[in-house]
Amino acid sequence: MSLVIEQAVEARLVAAAPRMASIPATLGYDVRDPFAVCMSFPAPATLEGVEVRWTFARELLTAGLTETAGAGDVRVRPYGYDRTVLEFHAVEGTAIVHIRTGELERFLSDTAALVPVGEESLYVDLDGDLAELLRDAY
C-alpha cells in the first residue's frame, strides 16, 4: 500500500500571477504527516520561476469545501456550485485559484481511505519525530 497520494488538478488562476489563466497543480498527502496536505505549483506558474509548495491542514481543506475556513496564509471557501477557492498569502503577494470541488472531494476521499479522519494521531511517530528534533541539539 502506498504511503503517498499525489493528484494532478487544474487550477484556474484568478489574481497575482504571471502569464497563465489555468495552471497545473498537484495535491499531495503523505501518511508520515497525516494532518497535512500540500499543493504544489510548477515553476512556470510562479513569480520566482521555481516550484512552490504550500503545506496546510487537511482539516482546513475539508472545512473550506462548505464554508469559509482559514485566517492565516492559506484560506479556503466554496465558490458557486462546483468550485472551491484557495487563497495563498505570502510577503510577495497573494495567489487565488479556483479548483473543481469534485477534484478536491476525490482527493480528500483518497486521503481518508489511507488515514481515516480522526485517526491521524495513530500514524504520528512522536518518539521518532522528537529524536530527530533533538538529534542536532547535543
In tens, the pLDDT along 21-46 reads 688 899 999 999 999 999 998 887 66
Percentage of the chain modeled with pLDDT above 90 = 54
Average pLDDT, stretch 44-66? 89
Percentage of the chain modeled with pLDDT above 70 = 89
Which long-range contacts link 46-55 to residues 24+ away (Cβ below 8 Å)?
A: 46/17, 46/18, 47/17, 47/18, 47/92, 47/93, 48/92, 54/88
Per-residue b or e along 37-48, where b marks 16 or more CB atoms closer than 10 Å to that residue's CB: bbbbbeeebbee
What is this structure's pTM? Answer: 0.84
Mean pLDDT of the chain: 87
Enter the DSSP assignment of 64: H
Query: In the prediction, which pLDDT does 47 show?
Result: 67
Residue linked to cell 477534484: 103
